Amino acid sequence: MKVICKITYPNGKIYIGNDLTGLLANFGSANSRLIEKDFTPAQRRDFSARKAILWESGSVSDMEVNKKEVEFIHKYQSNDPAVGYNQWPKSKFAA
């Protein structure tokens, strides 16, 4: 099953990613160093993220999944640094 998921971090920021394998433990490929900047060492000691499946399909191409991922990034504005951790596609809000 191919999925688009939304990862929500303790600070409320989100990351939208795709998973072409449908594995439960896949939390996307967000930039860890970018995320770490938002949390103190103490906050990193007890850290929980939430994964929600926004969309899934067993019958589409990888290219279609990638297109759908971009749609959700725009819908949730997760490429706006104030909202989320997606660095692509570039946001008009990105520095």
Q: Where are the domains of the chain?
A: 2-76
Identify whether the C-beta of residue 79 lies closer than 8 Å to the C-beta of residue 86. yes
Cβ contacts of 15 within 8 Å, gap of 6 or more: 6, 7, 9, 28, 30, 78, 84, 85, 86
pLDDT at 23: 78
Q: Answer whether residue 60 shows pLDDT above 90.
A: yes
What is the model's pTM?
0.90
pLDDT at 14: 98
pLDDT at 32: 93
- Round the average pLDDT of the chain to a whole number and report it: 92
